[in-house]
Structure 1
Amino acid sequence: MNKITLLGVEEQREQLINSLMEFGAVEIGSVSDQDYGKIASHPEVREDLSRIDNKLLDVQATLNILDRYCPEKKPLFSTKRPVDIAEVREINSEKERIFSDVYKIREYEHALIELKAEENRVNNLYRSLLPWKDLTLPVDFPGTKRTGFTAGTIPAAVGWDLIESEVPEKAPLCQIFRINTDKDQHYAYIIYHREAEQETLSYLKSRGFNRTTFGSLSGTVDKNLKQIEINLEQIAKKREEIIDKIRDMRGSRNSIEILYDILSMERSRIEAVEKVVKTNKVFLIKGWLPEKLSDSAKNYLESNYTVSVEIEEPAEDEAFPVLLENRGLAEAGEPVLRMYSLPDSREIDPSKIMTPFFVIFFGLMLSDGGYGVILAILAAIILWRFKLQDSTRKFMKLMFFCGLSTMFWGLMFGGWFGISALVPYALWFDMVSNPELMLSWSLLFGVIHMYVGLGLKAANLIRRRKYLDALFDVGFWYVFFTGAVLTLLPYAPAINQEKAVQISSVGKYLLAAGAVLLILTQGRAKKGIIKKFFSGLSSLYDLIGFLSDILSYSRLLALGLATSIIAGIVNQMSVMFDIPVVLKVFIAAAILLIGHAINFGINVLGAYV
């Protein structure tokens, strides 16, 4: 990456920033206005950002509404629709029309929300009236000249027999009628003589009576329930009419999606403007762009704008944005790298070095060549048939290479859909019959992988001209770790013990020499001889971590065995039923298809993780 500095005329600032965005390869950095005192400042963009954010919220909400009521049928591997610059400019020129569609759809959604609230209110009223369905008197019945009418509830804990037995004595001038009873309360209405109103209500209150009011309703409960049902039908009809109107506007989706992207780009432009330092006459922009585009960018800007462009390499200690540029196998490994973290701007891109190990180890863990064929074919078809997003394309490319790797190891170990008859044709050995040998090779692959990682660390140190650090922090660890590996070699399974013992004697000397070298150098950053010594001594504990990491590579054996053994078990299960041949064929086919599909899916996931 190169650093770019632009000094231009203020009146061309907007057009120049738009050109940089169309160029698509410049990352604009922040410039501190404190370096220029009171003569320069950042543009004020808070109101513009707030305005754009509100529009983005409206447009996103509209897209969510369309997804809810008229969802698009998406392919198995969806990708963003390609849009050319002419279409973007056309949509940009029709912004007002598209925004009118946006606001119209939002209004429809608001109407649906109001209908939902009305529906909830009416449903609640319906549920509250339902227990009173058998009340034949109008709910607004005022009584007569000498009799009054009221309705209400009494807790169900109060037995109705008790009420009926007490009323003649404690409220003799009233009649109480039960309409309904549920687990919580009795629903009743009371006809009473007006002269005994207080006496009647006092008794009822002593039994927990709670008067029910029917608000502005009139007529019988049954009549009101029927009217509510009609109202609910009308609400449902209105809802469908509004939803149909929303569906009729599904054709606006593409334009609204492009409008959202235009607004997002506009927001990015405003954020870029915020990083600019300007005066009344000029502006200053600093940023980064790829080295290979530096000359063309400089020529384009200087030929189209009144601007001074300065391109320079970053200082040795200056951090800059990271842009990965890989092809082939290394490019396929970028999704795995991004899953953890991108390398530092001063570090070597590990994709070219570590991706081959990922692919090799994936194949070792899946190990069945038949599964590798399926994986490679599936990935190839997806890459060929679908226009994928860049990250998805790289992932599928990685799966294709992993499928090829699995096919290779299937040839080496004789694993093809768990078919035991093909195992004798293995080019190397059968891992199921020789698990100890496979374990030894797995540990060796782990040692190689760890050593390559250490080598990458050394390369990064050398790149920064830290030659002694590379020697002390990598070279001496190579000596120490190699000594440990050779010392422990006789204990590895399936190893020629006689030769291993001879080699291990050399390993002891290397181990001791490495330990001394590390004790003398790993505490070099500390002050004082004692601190240096104990810091160097404590660093030897990293051997435990190294050996633990090496042992973790036994999963190459574990997952490889799991794939092969489960595949073989599925094959055995498919032919173990003593049933008629025709039925046996169908059952065997089902078991093979389902069993191998599950085994394939689980072990592909396990190998990837």
Structure 2
Amino acid sequence: MSILQLKKASLIGLTENKMHTLDKLQKLGLMHIIPLQELSSQRIEEDEEVNPELLKRSLQYLLSCPNKRRQVTQEKQFNLKKVISAVEKNHSERLSLLEERDFLEKRIKDLEPWGDFVLPDLNDLNQQRFWFYLVPNFKMKEVEALSLPWTVVHQGNRNSYLVVVSPEEPAANLLPVARTHTGYIPISQLREKLEEAEIALEATEAEREALTRWTYLLQRSIASTADASLLSEVANQSLDFDEVFALQGWLAERDLDQLQMFAEQQGLVLLTEDPEDEELPPTYMDNSERVGGGQEVVSFFQTPGYRSWDPSRVVFFSFVSFFAIIMSDAGYSLILGGIIAYYWKAMSRTETHRRLRAMGAALAGAGFIWGVMVGGYFGASAPLPFLGSLKVLDVNDFDTMMTLSICIGAAHLILGNLMMAWVRRKSTQALSSVGWALAVFVALLGWIFGFSNLYWGVFAAGLVMVLLFSGEKTNVSLATLVAGLLALTNLTKIFGDVLSYLRLFALGLASASLALTFNQLAADVGAALPGIGLLLQVLILIIGHLLNFVLTVVSGVIHGLRLNLIEFYNWSLADEGYPFQPFAKQEVIPWTT
């Protein structure tokens, strides 16, 4: 299994060298710290001139810029305070200009039907004023009875733009609508202001783009701030005895030599011991990048306990298989593979991205192989005779596909129960998991080949094992029998869980049927409408298959994970742990634009 064995390591050193030692230990990044005392209010003094929240906000602002400059990696010309001030000023100016531009665009759009006009002086109109109203056309009959002078300056399909002349604002009941506020600035001046705002906004965007050259150094500043905070926290969790201090943590056995060498170099005393039975160490899962995508899925949902087993590899291969069966189309798999290939380089920046990239490649590869086996090519037949000869299954063969789905589900749950039995190997409860695995296996054989007395006998033996060994106590007692009876109520649950794997066949059939439906619909439209029908046929094919592709991928991810993280987990994992978090410095990956 890939859950690493841990040791409890204790380091003892001189208090005067404590911070230096901890800084070196943080660079080493091997230990999961065990607090020896509660955190105190002591902290490393932070630079009061730089607000950490402002620093994060500035970095996020630069990261959201679509175009970035070449990164500066040397700190010779870097002034953190000045850069943050410039970024904050640029951010504020950009927001103001965006608000001004949006306001001007809306104001111009509202004023265009009224035309470009300048309100005359009141003396020129004998103290008369213009009042503007936007009146729906069906209400214009109500305006005709108005005794005040009025005119329509523009009329659209829905509204009339009405100007009323009056020394005072007309009473609200004289017109069917409320007055429209147009302002006193003519539309020509608004357009000039809009042009000025757009020019200023372009200059601000150019300045923002120029500031992105400091992104890497800002990331390092944030990382150093977080590292200092973590260092301070760990320093407060150590135990001090006058001139010496003690620090304790969990360490992978494979890293013990490195820590021993570190202790010798730093003049520290190193003590190691195995975890006690009542202790619960963190779970340190270690998987290669090729199958590490399963670990990312497992860690996201539930971290297994330290003394449990790592389901990452099983989840990886089963999820890939389930996704391929649900997709059931080699053409869609090629599209998925093309998407993965397009983002291949971009997904190489971190270990997590590389693991998910490998999983994506496996999904596309497995989907293509399964698609060839079932003869799915965008809902059509194989484009080449050679590919057609490789078809060995038919998604429309209900009996075969249902049998295959049930067998996959039964095998998955049998494996889960056997792994649970291995975890409980030191307890008689392991026989309960073996009983479930035996019952499912025999029930599957009986369903396929027909039940005989032998099958019924073995099936009953499995259930008897569940009845007798589900309790924590080894002796047969009333409590043991009650625990066993309660466990037997899961018989319907495991039956339902096995049937739940029928969704593999159902979703695969739905994907293939929908692809075939779009093909038939496109062909019917093309035949019914000569000429323009060809264009409609192409549009139906593109839009239809794109929609089906998205639905298939979503279904494959959701239901593929569901079968692993719900049905499978229920029978294979009992204890939940917490992840191993090394005391280490943050890694900063520079931009290479």
TM-score over 0.5 (shorter chain): yes
Does the CA contact (< 8 Å) of 1:411 and 1:426 recur in 2? no
Q: How does 1:166-205 map to 2 (within 5 A)?
A: none
Using the TM superposition, give the Cα deviation of residue 414 of structure 1 relative to its aligned residue in structure 2, in angstroms.
3.0
The CA distance in 2 between the partners of 1:413 and 1:121, in whole Å, is 58
Q: How does 1:143-162 map to 2 (within 5 A)?
A: none
Secondary structure, counterpart of 1:249 in structure 2: helix
1:306 alignment partner in structure 2: 267
Secondary structure, counterpart of 2:402 in structure 1: helix
Amino acid at match of 1:476: G
Residue 549 (1) aligns with residue 503 (2) = no
Which structure 1 segments of 5+ residues have no match?
Answer: 34-40, 75-80, 139-148, 154-158, 166-176, 191-203, 205-220, 490-494
Using the TM superposition, give the Cα deviation of residue 418 of structure 1 relative to its aligned residue in structure 2, in angstroms.
3.0
Q: Point out the more displaced range, 505-514 or 344-353.
A: 505-514
Q: 1:540 to 1:247 in 2, by over 3 A?
A: closer
The CA distance in 1 between the partners of 2:201 and 2:532, in whole Å, is 53
Residue 341 (1) aligns with residue 289 (2) = no
Does the CA contact (< 8 Å) of 1:414 and 1:426 recur in 2? no
Q: How does 1:100-499 map to 2 (within 5 A)?
A: 100-109=82-91, 136-137=121-122, 245-303=207-265, 305-327=266-288, 329-376=290-337, 378-380=339-341, 382-383=343-344, 387-420=348-381, 425=388, 429-462=392-425, 465-466=426-427, 468-471=428-431, 473-486=432-445, 489=447
The CA distance in 1 between the partners of 2:352 and 2:373, in whole Å, is 32
1:144 alignment partner in structure 2: none
Using the TM superposition, give the Cα deviation of residue 271 of structure 1 relative to its aligned residue in structure 2, in angstroms.
2.4
Using the TM superposition, give the Cα deviation of residue 358 of structure 1 relative to its aligned residue in structure 2, in angstroms.
2.1
Does the CA contact (< 8 Å) of 1:43 and 1:278 recur in 2? no
Using the TM superposition, give the Cα deviation of residue 315 of structure 1 relative to its aligned residue in structure 2, in angstroms.
2.4
Does the CA contact (< 8 Å) of 2:290 and 2:355 recur in 1? no
Does the CA contact (< 8 Å) of 1:42 and 1:276 recur in 2? no
2:581 alignment partner in structure 1: none
1:210 alignment partner in structure 2: none
The CA distance in 2 between the partners of 1:228 and 1:569, in whole Å, is 54
1:512 paired residue among 460, 475, 478: 460
The CA distance in 1 between the partners of 2:201 and 2:470, in whole Å, is 74
Using the TM superposition, give the Cα deviation of residue 137 of structure 1 relative to its aligned residue in structure 2, in angstroms.
5.0
Q: 1:512 to 1:232 in 2, by over 3 A?
A: closer
Does the CA contact (< 8 Å) of 1:369 and 1:409 recur in 2? yes
2:514 alignment partner in structure 1: 566
More helix by share: 1
Amino acid at match of 1:100: K
2:563 alignment partner in structure 1: none
1:23 alignment partner in structure 2: 28
2:37 paired residue among 8, 32, 38: 32
Q: 1:424 to 1:233 in 2, by over 3 A?
A: closer
Amino acid at match of 2:505: L
Does the CA contact (< 8 Å) of 1:566 and 1:599 recur in 2? yes
The CA distance in 2 between the partners of 1:545 and 1:391, in whole Å, is 35
Using the TM superposition, give the Cα deviation of residue 447 of structure 1 relative to its aligned residue in structure 2, in angstroms.
0.4
Does the CA contact (< 8 Å) of 2:283 and 2:304 recur in 1? yes
Amino acid at match of 2:422: A
Does the CA contact (< 8 Å) of 2:44 and 2:232 recur in 1? no
1:141 alignment partner in structure 2: none
1:598 alignment partner in structure 2: 547
Does the CA contact (< 8 Å) of 1:365 and 1:607 recur in 2? yes
Q: 1:240 to 1:189 in 2, by over 3 A?
A: farther
Q: How does 1:4-15 map to 2 (within 5 A)?
A: 4-15=9-20
Using the TM superposition, give the Cα deviation of residue 58 of structure 1 relative to its aligned residue in structure 2, in angstroms.
1.6
1:44 alignment partner in structure 2: 42
Does the CA contact (< 8 Å) of 1:442 and 1:554 recur in 2? yes
Secondary structure, counterpart of 1:319 in structure 2: coil
Matched residue count: 526
Using the TM superposition, give the Cα deviation of residue 453 of structure 1 relative to its aligned residue in structure 2, in angstroms.
0.5
1:174-193 Cα deviation digits (max 9, x unpaired): xxx99xxxx9xx99868xxx
Q: 1:258 to 1:71 in 2, by over 3 A?
A: farther
The CA distance in 2 between the partners of 1:330 and 1:248, in whole Å, is 40
Q: 1:475 to 1:67 in 2, by over 3 A?
A: closer
1:207 alignment partner in structure 2: none
The CA distance in 1 between the partners of 2:333 and 2:190, in whole Å, is 64
Q: 1:329 to 1:542 in 2, by over 3 A?
A: farther
The CA distance in 1 between the partners of 2:380 and 2:103, in whole Å, is 67
1:536-587 Cα deviation digits (max 9, x unpaired): 2232210111011111111121122223333333444444423899977766
Secondary structure, counterpart of 2:466 in structure 1: helix
Residue 66 (1) aligns with residue 62 (2) = yes
1:223-278 Cα deviation digits (max 9, x unpaired): 99999999999888877766665555343333223322222222222222232222
The CA distance in 1 between the partners of 2:344 and 2:333, in whole Å, is 16
The CA distance in 2 between the partners of 1:224 and 1:415, in whole Å, is 64
Amino acid at match of 1:102: I
Amino acid at match of 1:286: Q
Secondary structure, counterpart of 1:349 in structure 2: coil
Does the CA contact (< 8 Å) of 1:413 and 1:426 recur in 2? no
Secondary structure, counterpart of 1:11 in structure 2: helix
The percent identity for this pair of structures is 22
Report the TM-score when normalising by structure 1: 0.69
Q: 1:338 to 1:426 in 2, by over 3 A?
A: farther
Amino acid at match of 1:470: A
Using the TM superposition, give the Cα deviation of residue 530 of structure 1 relative to its aligned residue in structure 2, in angstroms.
4.7
1:268-326 Cα deviation digits (max 9, x unpaired): 222222322224422221122322121122212321x2321223332233222222222
Q: 1:252 to 1:525 in 2, by over 3 A?
A: same
Q: Which has the higher contact order (CA 8 A, sep 6+)?
A: 2
Report the TM-score when normalising by structure 2: 0.71
Amino acid at match of 2:515: A
2:51 paired residue among 17, 42, 55: 55
Q: 1:19 to 1:376 in 2, by over 3 A?
A: same
Secondary structure, counterpart of 1:420 in structure 2: coil
Does the CA contact (< 8 Å) of 2:36 and 2:248 recur in 1? yes
The CA distance in 1 between the partners of 2:300 and 2:424, in whole Å, is 24
Which is higher, the Rg of structure 1 or of structure 2?
1
The CA distance in 2 between the partners of 1:561 and 1:588, in whole Å, is 24
Q: 1:275 to 1:51 in 2, by over 3 A?
A: farther
Secondary structure, counterpart of 1:289 in structure 2: strand
Q: 1:296 to 1:431 in 2, by over 3 A?
A: same
Does the CA contact (< 8 Å) of 1:483 and 1:506 recur in 2? no
The CA distance in 2 between the partners of 1:560 and 1:510, in whole Å, is 34
